[in-house]
Amino acid sequence: MRILITGISGFVGGKLAGRLSGAGHDLHGASRDPDRIDPPDGVVMHRADALTGLGLSGALDGVELAYYLIHSMEASAQAGGFGERDRRAAEHFAAAAAAAGVRRIVYLGGLVPSRPRPSAHLRSRRRVERVLLDAVPGSVALRASIVVGDGSRSFRFLVRLVERMPVLALPSWRDYRTQPIDERDMLDYLAAAGVSDVGGRTLDIAGPDTLSYGEMVRRLAELMLVRRPAVRLGFTQTPWTSAVAARIAGEELALVRPLMESLDGDLLADDAAARDLLGVRLHGYDAAVEHAMRDWELREPLRAR
């Protein structure tokens, strides 16, 4: 089967290419700048830009299954910000995929919160999901919370905060709950969604542990073998706290602020259908963190360890 992975230069796309490489597929990758990517053996690279649409028709020629792993979180002066870029890229890709006769697009988005109105970040993910599924009806949308992996920017952000803050100042969102997922399980779900009889579905995927964000951070500190007393703040003040947190972690505010704006309620999965249909064996949070930290320290040291 000819498979195209977009976003192959990112964490999920790169890991998925490694996961699918050698499985007998005709594997292709698409990137705005393929010259800076060292793909796994056998992966054919294409120069394509979903934001402009340039190169998409060539990259999608003959493709049966396409993974759409593009998220626009970079800072931009363009009107509409990342949400507008997400919409435009998804529409370009959906139209090109439909014209090329692609049978299925698999998209990795975010969980839908229980609160009435999701954040701008999660609204954008849902909009992309609708665009892709409407264009190619056999497509599958997977919805996940934080992915625990050495290249996950949200996980790396938490690790940097634990590493660099002598005291963990936890705003009021610390008590909200979510279900982090091991990168290995996420990759297994993506692979299974491409070949299983689940076309036209939207499926929540999640790890087996339900944790508050405060519990996630405290457990992360314990697994990193560092002592970090926690202070419970009585406020959130996202514009201020996200700026401070981004500065401490060395991360872009354009990423941190939308993520923190999403932390105003539980973000829980109804993943029974995904577990029944896709049959993925799940790892708990502690095992996920230990695996991510081992991979991380093969590439770079952590000051706190």
Amino acid 161: pLDDT: 86
**Cα 111 from Cα 107, distance rounded (Å):** 12
* Mean residue pLDDT across the chain: 88
Domain membership of residue 88 (yes or no) is: yes
**Are the C-beta atoms of residues 284 and 208 closer than 8 Å to each other?**
yes
Whether 250 is covered by a domain: the verdict is no
Cα separation, 262 vs 118, whole angstroms? 7
In this prediction, residue 1 has a pLDDT band, given cuts at 50, 70 and 90, of very high
Average confidence (pLDDT) over 65-80 = 70
Number of structural domains in the chain? 1
- List all residues 6 or more positions away from 171 whose beta carbon is below 8 Å from its beta carbon: 233, 235, 236, 237, 241
Which amino acid type is present at position 277? L
**80: CATH:** 3.40.50.720
**Whole-prediction pTM value?**
0.91
Q: What is the CA radius of gyration of the chain?
A: 19
Q: What is the Cβ-side half-sphere exposure of residue 277, based on CA atoms within 13 angstroms?
A: 22
Rounded to whole angstroms, the Cα distance separating 23 from 103 reads 20
CB 258 within 8 A of CB 73: yes
> Mind listing the pLDDT tens digit for each residue in 75-122?
444 545 778 889 999 999 999 999 999 999 999 998 887 665 667 777
Domain encompassing residue 124: 2-147+181-205+268-282
Looking at the domain assignment, is residue 220 inside a domain? no
Residue 58, domain member (yes or no)? yes
- Tell whether the model's pLDDT for residue 256 goes beyond 90: no
pLDDT the model gives residue 266 = 87
The answer to whether 102 and 63 are in contact (CB under 8 A) is yes
Between the CA of residue 65 and those of 106, 175, 189, what are the distances in Å?
8, 40, 15
Amino acid 237: pLDDT: 63
- In a domain, residue 224? The reply is no
Cβ-contact 55, 47 below 8 angstroms: yes
Instruction: Specify the DSSP class assigned to residue 115.
Output: S
* Domain assignment of residue 185, yes or no: yes
Q: For residues 161 and 255, what is the distance between their CA atoms, to the nearest angstrom?
A: 15
**Mean pLDDT over residues 236-258, rounded?**
75
In percent, how much of the chain has pLDDT > 90? 60
C-alpha distances (whole Å) from 45 to each of 25, 28, 41, 205 are: 14, 6, 11, 29
- Rounded distance between C-alpha atoms, residue 179 and residue 182, angstroms: 10
Is residue 235 domain-resident? no
Mean pLDDT of 8-27: 92
pLDDT of residue 116: 59
Element (H, E) at 199: none
The Cα–Cα gap between 228 and 23 comes to 44
**Residues 6+ positions from 79 with CB-CB distance below 8 Å:** none
User: What pLDDT was estimated at residue 79?
Assistant: 46
Residue 114 lies in a domain: yes
| % residues pLDDT > 70 (the chain) | 91
pLDDT top residue among 133 and 163: 133
- Which of the residue ranges 86-90, 185-189, 230-234, 252-256 has the most confident prediction, judged by mean pLDDT? 185-189
Residue with the bigger pLDDT between 277 and 229: it is: 277
pLDDT: which is higher, 261 or 272: 272
Q: Can you tell me the distance from the alpha carbon of 49 to that of 55, in angstroms, rounded to the nearest whole number?
A: 6
Q: Can you say whether the dihedral through the CA atoms of 247, 253, 257, 258 is positive or negative?
A: negative
Instruction: Report residue 140's pLDDT band, with 50, 70 and 90 as the boundaries.
Output: very high
- Tell me the CA end-to-end span of the chain in Å, nearest whole number: 44
Q: Name which residue leads in pLDDT, 148 or 299.
A: 148
Say if residue 63's pLDDT is above 70.
Answer: yes
